[in-house]
Structure 1
Amino acid sequence: MLTKESKTVLYHLYKEYCLRRSNGLSRSASKEFDSSESVQKLLFPDWSVSDVDDCMCELGRNGYLDNHHASDFIYDSSLTDKAIVTMENQKKETLLNVVNFLAQFIP
């Protein structure tokens, strides 16, 4: 289980991954993110570096990021295959949940 904030970080990292892929970057290069500080500057300028780092650590503990630490902060991170698969299937699962919910009301 992830907190809402960590889900938000995962969503934005995946969105950045998709943008990089659409711009022609390789899969491996698109998965790579630098430090939690660089992620904060790029995607979450209104958040503190500490909050972004904490969310990225949570994502790492849950298998969505592969993190490398130095001086108590993440200095290198990459999306895992699990993260990409989870996000790719997110839309399908949401749509199926809506269809199943509506089917309950159709006689």
Structure 2
Amino acid sequence: MLTNDAKKLLYGLYKEYVARRSIGVSRSSAKMFRSAQSVHENFFPEWNISDVEDTLRELGRNGYVKNFYADNTVYNCQLCDDAISDLENLPKDIFLNVTDFIAKFIP
């Protein structure tokens, strides 16, 4: 089970993945999200950086992202195929509700 913060971050990363794919970015590149600092600055600036870091670790423990570490921080993270598959297979109405929910809380 994921915390609500982990779900928000996961859906935010997936939304960005879909946007990248829609403009022709390759799958392998679209799944890459660089560091916790980058995720914080580009997608969740209202969150505390340590919360982004902790949430990426939670997603990693649950198999939704693969984190690469350097200097005891997430240096690079990648959205996993299982995460993409799980989100692609959500019923359309659930995904739209989740997307609407995220849009209200994530600028």
Considering the TM-score relative to the shorter chain, is it more than 0.5? yes
What letter is aligned with 2:16?
E
Matches within 5 A, 1:39-58: 39-58=39-58
Q: Which residue of 1 aligns with 2:28?
A: 28
Deviations 1:58-87 (A, max 9, x none): 000000001011122100010000110111
Identity %: 49
SS in 2 for 1:33: coil
What TM-score, normalized to structure 1? 0.84
1:48 deviates by 1.1
Instruction: Return the index of the structure with the highest Cα Rg.
Output: 1
Q: Which residue of 2 aligns with 1:38?
A: 38
What letter is aligned with 1:13?
L
1:94 deviates by 3.7
- Segments of 5+ residues of structure 1 without an aligned counterpart are 96-107
- Segments of 5+ residues of structure 2 without an aligned counterpart are 96-107
* Residue 16 of structure 1 pairs with residue 16 of structure 2: yes
User: Relative to structure 1, is the Cα distance of residues 50 and 80 closer, same or farther in structure 2, using a 3 angstrom cutoff?
Assistant: same
Deviations 1:32-55 (A, max 9, x none): 110000000000010111100111
Corresponding pairs, count = 95
Partners in 2 of 1:73 and 1:51 — Cα distance?
12
1:92 deviates by 4.7
